[in-house]
Chains A and B, each alone.
Chain A
Amino acid sequence: MTSPCRLLLDACSIFELHRRGAWDLLVRARRIVVPSIVARDEAFWTERESKTLIIDLPSMIAAGTIDEIDVDLSIMEKVVAQFDHVFREGLHDGEIEALAHLSVTEDAIDYCTADTGAIHAAVMLAVGDRLVSLESVLRAAGLQRSLGIEFCDEHMRRHREIGAQKLITREGFRK
């Protein structure tokens, strides 16, 4: 049965799931959502067992297998306005779109990202409670896979802490 809580994935997690052969299984277990910028702007493919897999997110969206988020640009502007130039420029537009969505949605949603900047930013925007590691997502779905360290619980824990420090010190926020 699909969990009622949607799962918002960043580009790296999408790759890792395909690379580890866990994508189809996870799609059955969770309602997957992707930022529209990631879905429409990335060339997606990965290598698995010496074969090249094309990851066609637009077709999956068209078929209703996964969803894409549609964020109003004024919400993105509000997110962008919170951060200083240097911190903000370190984030990919797809991550800003994901963070904008998290900052306004009241739906149950988990945000799975391996990116340290995005983890820090989520905590700084007070949506850190939505963050989940890919390791924990797979564990909850009963899927065991060996993952890169950036997808593991420890990476998420460490960078949540750094995000929390930034929230206190205001480092990365627009002055």
Chain B
Amino acid sequence: MAGEMRTRLATRIRNCREQLNLTQKTLADLAGFPVHQIISQIETGERNVKAWELARLAKALHVSVADLISEPEMAPGPAVLWRKPPTDVKALREAVFTERCRRYAHVERLCGKQMPKEIPCARSLDLKQCSFGQVAELAAEVTRHLGLGDRPAPALVTALEERWGVKVWYFSMEDEASAACACGEFGPAILMNASEAPWRRNFSFAHELFHLLTWEASNSAEIQENPMVAERVEKLANAFASNLLLPADLTIAAFDRHVRENRVSYADLIAIAREFDVSTEALLWRLAGLGRVTAATVDKLRADPDFRRLDRTSRHGEWWNPPPIPERFVLLAFLAYSRGRLSKAKLAEYMDVSLPDLAATLMAYGLDEAADYDVTVPTAA
């Protein structure tokens, strides 16, 4: 291997490792190397890297072999905006997220899907000045544009994926983080914590959507570096989510139907939250904003163990876990493979399984490797 290549690899591997906050030992472990001195030798340009070693390093660093060996140097990854960032593994989560988004964009291109790089209703709002009324208007426009109907939450994610090409990934992050979004060369993308309750995820999706719609402003240094403004932007994003998932007229109508002698039961409040597929907390704050309950009532209910228990137990059956890999991505990757545009080994890599496990994994998504999906039927003349 030429000295130039050794130097290039030394620099790039060290840079990638440092970006992920990995020690040489951790990287060696992730790559399955017996001793961490191998990494040290590679990073000082003392060692000729073998092809299989490089493939393992690329996998551990969440980049491609081509990224590491090719000219020109790989571009830095896009910014990722977190609602509540993980403390220890932020860089690693971002690397995995953006790697998957690049793969998603790749299979879209292989299947001839040209998705918009920007979200159609994107706005260059001045987030320091913009009013809550403007945010409500934006939410109404998104509802119309995406055709979300009377109960927007259940339709939101599919509409974002199918209509606007938003790449949605779910990672199990327990309590370490909630959600994040990014807008790179792969287009808009949302990372969701799979460990959250489905109805909370809906709110988080809508919240992240606001950041994507106002990406230029949300991602600006002026906002990110000013905690006061950043907090205001978070409030705007929450207001947007609330307006989007709980449209004022529909929420009031649903609420008023349940009011008897100026009172509403716990069970009815929970039923309305279920109907709109949002958390009871999101519903209560929305009702307070719409003047249907007072803020004191919201606080009282949130602190009431009976209400919380009833809420928790009555929604137990609604819990569902998202698939580890988005169905749309799987379908596109499989289509690309079946049309000979994606290698089978690459499909397995994209599906995060070994080659022998591929057929069973595809079957879990309802895809049969042996079936001929290209059979056609004539259409009516």
Asked whether, in the complex, the Cβ of B51 is within 8 Å of the Cβ of A46, the reply is no
Distance in angstroms between the alpha carbons of A86 and B102 in the assembled complex: 11
Q: Which residues of A have CB within 8 Å of B69? A: 73, 76-77, 80
Asked whether, in the complex, the Cβ of B49 is within 8 Å of the Cβ of A118, the reply is no
Closest to A69 in B: B51
Asked whether, in the complex, the Cβ of A40 is within 8 Å of the Cβ of B56, the reply is yes
Query: Interface of chain B, helix or strand or loop or mixed?
Result: helix
Q: Is B378 an interface residue (CB 8 A)?
A: no
Q: Which residues of A have CB within 8 Å of B56? A: 40-41
Q: Which residues of B have CB within 8 Å of A162? A: 340
A95-B343, A117-B342, A159-B340 known; A43+B354 contact, CB < 8 A = yes
The answer, among A45, A70, A115, for a CB contact under 8 Å with B51, is A70
Q: Is B300 an interface residue (CB 8 A)?
A: no
Q: Is B64 an interface residue (CB 8 A)?
A: yes
A15-B356, A89-B106, A93-B65 known; A115+B52 contact, CB < 8 A = no
A160 to chain B, nearest CB (A): 12
Distance in angstroms between the alpha carbons of A94 and B354 in the assembled complex: 14
What size tier do the contact residues of chain A reach?
Answer: 35 or more
Q: Which residues of A have CB within 8 Å of B349? A: 92
Q: Is B5 an interface residue (CB 8 A)?
A: yes
> Quick one: CB contact mask for A1-18 with B, threshold 8 Å, 1 for yes?
000000000111001000
B1-56 residues with Cβ-Cβ distance < 8 A to A are 1-2, 5, 9, 49-52, 54-56
Distance in angstroms between the alpha carbons of A45 and B356 in the assembled complex: 6
Q: Is A67 an interface residue (CB 8 A)?
A: no
Closest to A70 in B: B50
B317-375 residues with Cβ-Cβ distance < 8 A to A are 336, 340-346, 349, 354-356, 370
The answer, among B109, B340, B345, for a CB contact under 8 Å with A94, is B345
Asked whether, in the complex, the Cβ of B110 is within 8 Å of the Cβ of A86, the reply is yes
The answer, among A74, A91, A116, for a CB contact under 8 Å with B5, is A74
Q: Which residues of A have CB within 8 Å of B106? A: 86, 89-90
**Which of B1, B52, B54 has most A Cβ within 10 Å?**
B52
Q: Is A44 an interface residue (CB 8 A)?
A: yes
Distance in angstroms between the alpha carbons of A78 and B367 in the assembled complex: 36
Q: Is B297 an interface residue (CB 8 A)?
A: no
Q: Which residues of A have CB within 8 Å of B52? A: 36-37, 39-41
A28-49 residues with Cβ-Cβ distance < 8 A to B are 35-46
Distance in angstroms between the alpha carbons of A165 and B83 in the assembled complex: 49
The answer, among B9, B64, B109, for a CB contact under 8 Å with A73, is B9
Asked whether, in the complex, the Cβ of A36 is within 8 Å of the Cβ of B70, the reply is no
> Which 9 A-B residue pairings sit nearest by Cβ, starting from the closest?
A116-B340, A92-B345, A43-B354, A40-B52, A36-B52, A37-B55, A77-B69, A115-B343, A92-B346
CB-defined A-B contacts under 8 Å, sample of 14: A12-B355, A36-B52, A40-B52, A43-B356, A70-B50, A73-B1, A86-B109, A90-B336, A92-B345, A94-B345, A96-B66, A114-B344, A116-B341, A118-B343
Footprint of B on A, CB under 8 Å? 10-12, 15, 35-46, 70-74, 76-77, 80-81, 86, 88-97, 114-118, 120, 148, 159, 162
19 other contacts beyond A77-B71, A81-B71, A114-B344, with CB at 8 A cut-off? Answer: A11-B344, A37-B52, A37-B55, A42-B355, A43-B356, A45-B356, A70-B50, A70-B51, A73-B49, A74-B1, A77-B5, A80-B65, A88-B66, A92-B343, A93-B51, A93-B58, A116-B340, A117-B343, A148-B370
